[in-house]
Amino acid sequence: MDKNFIININLAGVDAAGGGVNIPEGYYKGTVVDAYQATNKNGGTRIVFKLSGFEGYASAVRTTSITIPNANTKDGLRTVWRAAMESMGYDGAQLDSGPLQLNRDIFVNRPIHVHYVPGDRDQNIYDEIKMLSPSAWASGKAAFKAPATSALGATHAAPPIQAPPIQAPVNPLQAPVNPLQNGMGGLPAAPAGQTPSALRNMLGIPS
């Protein structure tokens, strides 16, 4: 046991453990910021991808990996690699040209399209990151409903429903038509051929 140790360490540019950014499930565009080869527990090898620059969570960093195919690899793994390469913007003409020789420069600083599902470290559930072709990503994103509290949900929240304009009610109490409005002095009009004086005499009204 050595209690008189001295170490050299550089902590510049990294976040404190446990203080990472939480990202809700969703479809995100990001960038491959690093790539390196690592060894699987079963002795195989894989390429590890570090991803960042996600929409609404630019400072977050997430890691995923894909096992490197070999001569005995089934097509399932090769389809995963195909999706990853298309996710980074490589097209059919480039990918169908024959065997590919890939290195770190092929991946780093490339755009990436992913479907991200957060894990739960307390339950030993890892994050799930699927690299998708741009077309598959667009279809999935169009059908996905992000939580309203997430950056994606806030960005794509439905606009408020506008109340219909209030119509002025029709007044059912229209002023009645005065049947005497054509008479003289509030009296009905004289019948045709009869003078107003004759009508007054008939009604007993002094002239």
Lowest mean pLDDT across 45-59, 78-92, 166-180: 166-180
**Cα separation of 70 and 45, whole Å?**
10
Alpha-carbon dihedral angle through residues 35, 39, 44, 45, given to the nearest 10 degrees: 20
Is 67 within 8 Å of 80 (Cβ atoms)? no
Is the pTM of the predicted complex or chain greater than 0.95? Answer: no
Locus of tokens 């404190």: 16
Q: Strand, coil or helix: what is 56?
A: coil
DSSP of 31-55: EEEEEEEEE-TTS-EEEEEEEEEET
Mean pLDDT of the chain: 79
Is 106 within 8 Å of 36 (Cβ atoms)? no
Instruction: Dig out the tokens for 28 from the structure.
Output: 């995100």
Amino acid in the structure at residue 78: R
pLDDT at 30 over 90: yes
**Cα separation of 108 and 103, whole Å?**
9
CATH architecture of 26-140: Beta Barrel (2.40)
- Which of 158, 155, 134 has its CA nearest to residue 29? 134
Is 50 within 8 Å of 127 (Cβ atoms)? no
Q: Are strands 128-131 and 45-54 parallel, antiparallel or unpaired?
A: unpaired
pLDDT tens for 159-199 read 444 444 444 445 444 544 444 444 444 445 555 555 666 65
pLDDT tens for 91-117 read 999 999 988 999 999 999 999 999 999
pLDDT at 130 over 50: yes
In the chain, what are the domain boundaries? 26-140
